Amino acid sequence: MGKEGFLSPKAIGNRIKAKGLQKLRWYCQMCQKQCRDENGFKCHCMSESHQRQLLLASEDPNKIMDNFSQEFKNDFIELIRRRFGTKRVQNNIVYNEYINDREHVHMNSTQWETLTEFTKWLGKEGFCKVDETPKGWYIQYIDRDPETIRRQEELERKKKQDLDDQERSAKFIEEQVRRGQGGREPEVRVCDYISVTFNLAKGSCSSADGPSKASVALGPSALKAAGSVKRKDAPSTSEAKEKKKKSALDEIMEMEEQKKRSVRADHWLHPGIVIKVVTKRLGEKYHKKKGVVKEVQDKYTAVVKMIDSGDKLKLDQSHLETVIPAPGKRVLVLNGVYRDTEALLASIDERKFSATLTLDSGRMKGRRVDGIAYEDFSKMA
């Protein structure tokens, strides 16, 4: 017989068994002790420490169960959020990963008797989306983090705004083209009508008898008169056509330029605007303090002069945010179709995180624009 010791086969086998998961019916949740067999569990239940834990639990058993249930629920949801995110996954897969931890809270100490009951409870309380299939129950985590919801709303709002700007530009171009075509066609019709009616009137005056001489005599004068009329009218119509062609062409070119500018850029800094420092790396002295952009370097870096202290800082645009003034104040549009356009702040829509601006410069001066996002304009210094 081999000598009993730390490296004996029996000792090694016992340590291997102790590392893995063992039978749940021999686990005491109150004492958090796992027994190897029925005899060990029986001895543990008769021990003094176990009896003390039972006395403590008997004082308020509902509170003990609620604590275990809350801990089990928090750990289970945290595992879903961290491991699977918002993917749809079978509840057994999540539970098998959860029980890999030896120190986990066992379900028999919670208010739920089965995993199916717990899955239904998660769907009823709105923590997850649950659905039953022939292969079993599937769960999908619902991310209700305020920061995540805010980012999703901002992305949807920017996407909708880009689509609105593109549709508005396309409609305006179509209208200008239609107006240009409609302005040229009536002139051509009128000129053709005059020439045709004039020729028909002249031909109707001729007869088969002697008046042929009169017609010959009247022909040159009539032709001269018609030629003079055409010579007098031709310059005016051609000039009008050129003017209308030029105006329609200019407007289309302007809209093309605006359409190019409507492509949102990933940089928005501009000299002369008021900004707010949002980074905490510089300390409380500059956090949430306002400054004026004095210079923009490489599109993404700004030299900022703080309003309170007068200090000059070199900051990246990710550490800054725009400043929304009171209605009636002057602002500068920093992104979108009306980029680099000065405007007046007409009103603020706090529910949609946007504002209504009245353009105060450029060819669109006086135009009222709705739905400009907070991050697309800032107060002017």
CATH of the domain at 29: 1.10.10.2030
Question: Is pLDDT of 66 > 90?
Answer: no
The predicted-structure confidence for 200-256, as pLDDT tens digits, reads as follows 444 444 444 444 443 434 444 444 444 444 444 444 555 554 445 556 667 777 776
In a domain, 71, yes or no: yes
In a domain, 76, yes or no: yes
224 class by beta-carbon count within 10 Å (0-12 exposed, 13-18 middle, 19+ buried):
exposed
Average confidence (pLDDT) over 44-58: 82
**In the prediction, which pLDDT does 292 show?**
94
**In the prediction, which pLDDT does 256 show?**
66
In a domain, 75, yes or no: yes
Q: Which of the four pLDDT bands, split at 50, 70 and 90, describes residue 161? A: confident
In a domain, 226, yes or no: no
In a domain, 146, yes or no: no
In a domain, 181, yes or no: no
Average confidence (pLDDT) over 318-330: 92
**In the prediction, which pLDDT does 120 show?**
92
Element (H, E) at 141: strand 136-141
- In the block, tokens 């619902």 appear at 142
Q: Which of the four pLDDT bands, split at 50, 70 and 90, describes residue 199? A: very low
CA-closest candidate to residue 297, choices 318, 336, 271, 278? 271
Q: Say how many CA atoms lie within 13 Å of 137 toward its Cβ.
A: 18
In a domain, 235, yes or no: no
The predicted-structure confidence for 339-375, as pLDDT tens digits, reads as follows 889 999 999 998 888 999 999 888 888 889 888 899 9
CA-closest candidate to residue 88, choices 142, 126, 152? 142
**In the prediction, which pLDDT does 185 show?**
46
Question: Is pLDDT of 71 > 60?
Answer: yes
pTM metric for this prediction? 0.35
Q: What are phi and psi of 154, to 5 degrees?
A: -65, -45
In a domain, 73, yes or no: yes
C-alpha dihedral (227, 230, 231, 236), degrees to nearest 10: 170
Domain residues for 130? 20-141
Element (H, E) at 245: helix 211-262
Average confidence (pLDDT) over 254-262: 63
Q: Which of the four pLDDT bands, split at 50, 70 and 90, describes residue 190? A: very low
Residue 136 CA to residue 91 CA, distance in Å, equals 8
**In the prediction, which pLDDT does 193 show?**
42
Indicate the number of domains in the chain. 1
**In the prediction, which pLDDT does 234 show?**
45
- 3-state SS class at 217: helix
**In the prediction, which pLDDT does 306 show?**
92
**In the prediction, which pLDDT does 223 show?**
45
Residue 44 CA to residue 64 CA, distance in Å, equals 20
- Least confident interval from 105-119, 217-231, 309-323, 343-357: 217-231
